[in-house]
């Protein structure tokens, strides 16, 4: 595992964007696995800036997103479809037909999970998967549990995750209780993995996930078993890793 220490969030975003842009330049038709949430926004902003300067071309890039809320229409401003279009897709020259997310409005979980898993395989897998890191060690919506979830599946969101998302919705009742997510096996099949972390509140889980035992109780700990993982974090997030 490679670790890059950034001075702050902006520096972390720039370093992460450097890694993604190198992937796009080296393989213009690459498949990027993308993440949502507050952490990658700065990375996407940097990629947009370089695109606008003429340094990046997304015309042949294909993307697959980690997850999507079940039961939330794409027009809802809290859907990950909406997030990705707002924060990246609508601001670069990517072909909308080459951007993929789970379909949150498909009520048949088994059908949708099989479709999405099949889609990823048909693309030849993910060249570079971007990941954030939850406070409880979740990656995608793979929450702590008894076993590592294998492939794309529908998951019941934990109370802590629902609570964390509550601020984005009109009321707690509006927060989706389920989501479609790539499984641990799907994530681990990516050729390269890029994890980005920022803030002192992530310091404990970074130490636990990357320097503690590999356990389903900390889903991200499985990344220790991958042969090409890069961790980019600011000083605060990396403050508790062993020297």
Phi, psi of 50 (to 5 degrees): -70, -35
Q: What pLDDT, on a 0 to 100 scale, did the predictor assign at position 188?
A: 97
Q: Quick check: is 240 in a domain?
A: no
Q: Quick check: is 137 in a domain?
A: yes
Q: Quick check: is 136 in a domain?
A: yes
Q: What pLDDT, on a 0 to 100 scale, did the predictor assign at position 137?
A: 93
Structure tokens at 56: 């990046």
From 68, 138, 149, 234, the catalytic residue: 138
Nearest to 133 by CA among 123, 142, 124: 142
Q: What pLDDT, on a 0 to 100 scale, did the predictor assign at position 67?
A: 97
Q: Quick check: is 40 in a domain?
A: no
Examine the residue annotation and report whether 95 is marked as an active-site residue of this protein. no
Examine the residue annotation and report whether 127 is marked as an active-site residue of this protein. no
Q: Quick check: is 96 in a domain?
A: yes
From 18, 98, 103, 136, the catalytic residue: 136
Q: What pLDDT, on a 0 to 100 scale, did the predictor assign at position 159?
A: 83
Q: Quick check: is 195 in a domain?
A: no
Q: What's the number of domains the chain is made of?
A: 1
Phi, psi of 60 (to 5 degrees): -105, 5
Examine the residue annotation and report whether 67 is marked as an active-site residue of this protein. yes
Low-confidence spans in the chain with pLDDT less than 70? none
From 68, 117, 127, 143, the catalytic residue: 143
Q: Which domain holds residue 65?
A: 2-34+51-180+202-234
Q: What pLDDT, on a 0 to 100 scale, did the predictor assign at position 172?
A: 78
Examine the residue annotation and report whether 138 is marked as an active-site residue of this protein. yes
Q: Quick check: is 147 in a domain?
A: yes
- Name the DSSP class of 113: H
pTM of the model: 0.95
From 65, 67, 87, 117, the catalytic residue: 67
CATH code, domain carrying 152? 3.40.50.1360
Q: 212 near 221, Cβ under 8 Å?
A: yes
Greatest alpha-carbon pair distance for the chain in Å reads 48
């Amino acid at each position: 595992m490679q670790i890059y220490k950034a001075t702050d969030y902006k520096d972390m975003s720039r370093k992460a964007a450097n890694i993604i842009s190198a992937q796009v330049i080296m393989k213009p038709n690459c498949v990027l696995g993308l993440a949502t949430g507050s952490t990658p926004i700065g990375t996407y902003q940097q990629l947009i800036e370089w695109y606008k300067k003429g340094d990046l071309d997304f015309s042949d890039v294909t993307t697959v997103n980690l997850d999507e809320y079940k039961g939330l229409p794409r027009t809802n401003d809290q859907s990950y479809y909406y997030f990705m279009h707002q924060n990246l897709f609508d601001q670069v020259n990517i072909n909308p037909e080459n951007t993929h997310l789970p379909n949150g409005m498909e009520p048949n979980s088994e059908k949708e999970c099989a479709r999405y898993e099949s889609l990823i395989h048909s693309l030849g897998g993910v060249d570079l998967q971007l990941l954030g890191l939850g406070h409880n060690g979740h990656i995608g919506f793979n929450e702590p549990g008894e076993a590592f979830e294998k492939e794309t599946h529908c998951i019941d969101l934990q109370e802590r995750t629902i609570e964390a998302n509550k601020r984005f919705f009109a009321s707690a009742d509006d927060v989706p209780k389920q989501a479609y997510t790539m499984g641990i096996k799907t994530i681990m099949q990516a050729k390269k993995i890029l994890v980005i972390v920022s803030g002192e509140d992530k310091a404990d889980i970074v130490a636990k996930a990357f320097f503690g035992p590999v356990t389903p109780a900390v889903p991200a700990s499985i990344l220790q078993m991958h042969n090409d993982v890069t961790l980019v974090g600011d000083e605060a997030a990396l403050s508790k890793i062993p020297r």
